[in-house]
Amino acid sequence: MAQIQPSRIARKLSVLQRRYRLTKPKLIALGIAALVLLGGMGSVIVRSWPGGFLLGQSKAQSAQTIEASHLQKLAAQSDASSDAVTQASTAQAQTLDAVQSVVVHVDGAVAHPGVYTLTQAKPRIRDAVDLAGGIVEGADTSTINLAALVKDGSKVYIPKQGEAAVVEQAASGGSCAGATSVDVQADSASSGERININTATEQELMSLPGVGKSTAQAIIDDRRTNGVFTSTEDLMRVSGIGNKKFAKLQGKIRV
């Protein structure tokens, strides 16, 4: 193949330059335009190439994955908050259900005698006394079990020194658990009157047939620990008193 001589190219350029009146600035501008055109064509080719298409698609899929992950995270946080609220509500409801109100009449040597409502779980006599303003000077708590449980509808009487403690059953049949009774200055057994096993002293209990000092003390200790007897049959819960001994006592005791 014949090679084109530089002189021939120069002559042709010279002819074109004269024909179209191409000055040097125009030639430079045409060169720049040609480079821009070639660059644009190259970009179109790259974008339309399968590899370029896949790259764009991969970027779109990545964006979708990130968005889905963010939505899942927000959903998980919402579920966790909802579960926490539900658990808190359930715990609060269980706590309210566990606490039952107990109404008790507190009287005697306390600052403010009256009827009070206890909302503690398993309220004690001490709780009732504190609610009534506490024990006043001259009170005698040596025979009162302040740690005993209080039942709804009962009365607690705090005696003064030399005075008997009184624990009454409620009219509805409720009783005050744990309060004890002390000296009652009467010999009920000798007069033929039935002895109240909830208020009798050790001496009175010992006047009953088959009841010695240890059994009398066991009856008093049981009253302090388990509360007053709601029936004469409850006396058999005391250690040492069985069916036979209770049969001897049944006509001589009361509640």
Domain residue limits, the chain: 6-48, 102-254
pLDDT the model gives residue 101: 85
Residue pair 230/211 in contact by the 8 Å Cβ criterion: no
Sign of CA dihedral 100, 104, 110, 112: positive
pLDDT the model gives residue 99: 56
Q: pLDDT averaged over the chain?
A: 74
pLDDT the model gives residue 169: 41
pLDDT of 50 > 60? The answer is no
- How does pLDDT run across 25-37, given as a tens digit for each residue? 776 777 787 777 7
Please enumerate in sequence order all residues whose Cβ is within 8 A of that of 67, keeping only pairs 6 or more positions apart, or say none: none
How far does Cα 5 stand from its chain's mean position?
Answer: 101
Region 50-58: mean pLDDT is: 51
Fold of 102-254: DNA polymerase; domain 1 (1.10.150)
Best CA proximity match to 228, nearest among 185, 164, 189, 170:
170
Determine whether 177 is exposed, middle or buried from the number of CB atoms within 10 Å of its CB (0-12, 13-18, 19+).
buried
pLDDT of 65 > 70? The answer is yes
pLDDT of 225 > 70? The answer is yes
* Tokens 């995270």, located at residue: 73
- How does pLDDT run across 171-188, given as a tens digit for each residue? 334 444 444 333 333 344
Crossing angle for the helix pair 50-98 and 24-48, nearest 10 degrees? Answer: 50
Residue pair 236/242 in contact by the 8 Å Cβ criterion: yes
* 191-230: burial string, b at 16+ Cβ within 10 Å, e else: eeeebbbbbbbeebbbbbeebeeebbebbbebbbeebbbe
- How does pLDDT run across 241-255, given as a tens digit for each residue? 989 899 889 889 998
